[in-house]
Structure 1
């Protein structure tokens, strides 16, 4: 964290508004947009200060060479455009957060723009006003200093005998075990089935009828750096990790919080295993296409894999490495270009852990796909369970499957595969 500027003699018009808005920004937006707005704080002298978690040397826009100024303004324009699209989408869905986010600037004055390590940063984006003049200190006649009573130490708790503790702990423990058994019976029913009365024949995740060709099937596999985080990482921990410079991550490698976030199983490990199960279960008649990330560069089309090539597909996914950005919007465009979606049904299964992190609007891309390819549906498996990619499924008539439970991810993929490729045709 570093201070960018001290606004001497100024205060925030609404001291609580920036914190409220930044909470919404980090909830709905990737770090690239969340870090766009400097953090206002009251300094030690009472003056207003602007801080950022971005690493690098802060420089005003007018201090940069012309080429760097143009690049910074273009990057700012892309991120504000993505933010505006998000606000429009939230407004369309009736989300009350849209009204709050409307207070953010969409065309800020250039004198509020800084470059921090090449990243755009806006100061004074929240309304400020001159600090009120200090009231004169009234003259007070001297009075005797009141005697401060000696604080009374808290009473030492009495020791409770072991026999009394057992008297109430044992019933509580038995009640807890009973509730735990009931919860496991409900949430893990498939793990503890009743003995079957007849042989159960398991159908494949997806199949085709004799008359209808199977839909074209493309998968998007998220290989962004956040996939290295523990499967149960919270939004707060992910934001803390994402905004930390790499040297600081190394220094904190042995801290309890860092070890918890980077512990196994990671999102990547869980995703690879679940994908392998999906690939083995899809009907042999269905070719599986695969698109992966390459930072914020053009996504990689790994190809289409027939039934005979699935061992190669599974091994290739197991060899993937998670690193860098999240070009979700570009990946959707690439995957959509691989299928028809007009005269023939098509399905994209996006296995992701968040929103686009490369300055593009994945919701707008999904809307365009829905208009251009009406027979293309996109199902989303969201392993961060934060709902940042729900709009993709909503725009294209697909479904969202979200969980941070490692044991449930494979079940989600099973349901997503059935939903995507019309497994109901199997019984027809």
Structure 2
């Protein structure tokens, strides 16, 4: 458990302290009916001795990161918000269901309601720990106030304009009387006088005769012919003749190295992939073994829903990442090596799909890509037949006169109860000393680690998508193609 944040109550809030005191009780109810990831959503509050300071803790491992107001943080918040909403809704629905059945008390129902409401308080902060959201500051603040739109103030109606109507009517009557009834007095007419038109006087125009101006002939400018300069004679220095050197003999170039894959017939290494295609490979890489065990416990008691299944198998799940990684590394295997395939789909026995030659690598990738676990409603097709798969893979390899290599991709131990896998690996090591087995342990179950140890192989543990891809690439290095240049 690690401390994530520390919070100080500004005012004494007895109802908030009372809610925090019911934390363990509420988490027991949630874990019993819902996935563990729903319970880890709420950080554990620890009230200090002063009664005001609250420290917040989480059981998740990893560096906590507080989501702020930056663009990247808001994008991350938008990405995880559907998960937050889904988990809070599942708690609210569980509260209603248990209340109707009478499985919880009224006080417990009230506290569950306050728990969901507390996630939206103004004091709540969202951290991300190992890609999982964790809420601190829940239940100790207030709900965000939703501001209502401003109400328009009614404008008072002014009635003083009604008093002007009689005055306007009186003014209209006066104008009608002035222009319509009043007889205007006639003005005496003035005698008409005809206008006298004066005849224009003739004016004599005397034109003065001006003498013609004297003609001025233009002066032609003298043209001075340029003196032609004699070209300078440039004498070049005598060119010295270079002595002709004899050609040097060319040194022969070193022949280019020819690179090829050095192999001998009958000495090529043999390889078999044991691919886990059981139902457990459908679980998300984001879920650890503890949460998967708790899910199985509730599954056996019919306490899980379809939403719980979808959440536990969310992307990226183990099977889809293992398929993509296997498909990418198949091309890196030496072109002189045939690859065998053994499938672990369910008890009691594994499926042997035989060898694929280098010319059939495409068919091998398609075969792995098309693999699907047995359906959930098939009670006889569960489990991981690791013991049977190891037996069949070892029988396909010589391991005495030729090198052999087995790659196990699995997330669990043998669950068919046929035999001891570790004892079988020791027998294989004695019988086939040139056979090595590498194990890619998906999720850290450690179910097949003893197999690698007994045969001198290596174990590569992968807890995330990136680690799984890297571990598979490292596990097949002993048999990848290497060119020999001569």
Larger radius of gyration: 2
Would you tell me which structure has more helix in proportion to its own residues? Answer: 1
Q: TM-score, normalised by structure 2?
A: 0.43
